[in-house]
Chain A
Amino acid sequence: NAGVTQTPKFQVLKTGQSMTLQCAQDMNHEYMSWYRQDPGMGLRLIHYSVGAGITDQGEVPNGYNVSRSTTEDFPLRLLSAAPSQTSVYFCASSYLGGRGYTFGSGTRLTIV
C-alpha cells in the first residue's frame, strides 16, 4: 500500500544509547520531514529534506542527525539518547509545496 512506513513502532532505550528510526515512502515525494509530539502538545519539526542529498534543521534539531541518500528513505538518528527525547516521532512526506502531506503511523520512543 502506498504511504509512509515507520519502523519500529515502539522502542525502549537506555540513556546514552544510539539508534536509528526508519522512514520510507513510496509516493515519489520530494519532501520528507521528522516531527516529535510530546504529551498534550502539537508536533514540532526536527529535520526536513527537499530531495536526495539535501537536509536542513527544523525547530528542535539538537541531539538528532538525518541523511537522505535516496528519494524513498529518510532515517532519523539519535546520537546519545536522553530522557528528554522520550516522545512519539512522526515522519511525513509530501510534494514540494505541501500538497498530499502524509504522515507515518509514528514511533513511540521511551528513554530510561
Chain B
Amino acid sequence: GIQVEQSPPDLILQEGANSTLRCNFSDSVNNLQWFHQNPWGQLINLFYIPSGTKQNGRLSATTVATERYSLLYISSSQTTDSGVYFCAVGLDNYGQNFVFGPGTRLSVLP
C-alpha cells in the first residue's frame, strides 16, 4: 500500500518563528489534506490541497503531485499552533478514505 512519511517527527519553536513541515507519499493520490490535532485531541481540517498552493492566514500549503510531496508552512508561530500536524492522502475514487502519515509534533514555546 501507499506509504506516507512526514518530517520532522518533532519540532520545537520559539513563538514568532517560522517552520516548514513536509509530507512525502509513495504513489499518485486523488486527495491530500492537512489536519491539526490540538493538545486536547480535536482534529481540525487545515487544507484540502491535492495540488497547487493555498494560504489561510499564517498558514500556507503547497502540493507538488508530480513529485509526490506536500509542504505546510507556518509563519509567525503562536503557542496555539502547538499540537500534531497530520498529512492524509486519499486513494479511492472519491479521494476521501485517507491514509494518514505519522504526524509532526509541534511545540511552540512562549
> A residues touching B (Cβ–Cβ < 8 Å)?
31, 33, 35, 40-45, 48, 50, 58-59, 88, 90, 92, 94, 96-103, 105-106
Contact = CB atoms under 8 A, between A and B. Distances in A.
Contacts of B94: 31, 50, 96-98
Nearest to A99: B48
Contact of A98 (B86, B95, B99, B101): B95
A78 B86 CA distance: 27
B52 interface: no
B100 A33 contact: no
A43 B41 contact: no
Contacts, number: 62
Chain B contact residues (Cβ within 8 angstroms of A): what range?
20 to 34
Nearest to A40: B102
Nearest to B31: A98
Contact of A97 (B41, B88, B96, B99): B96
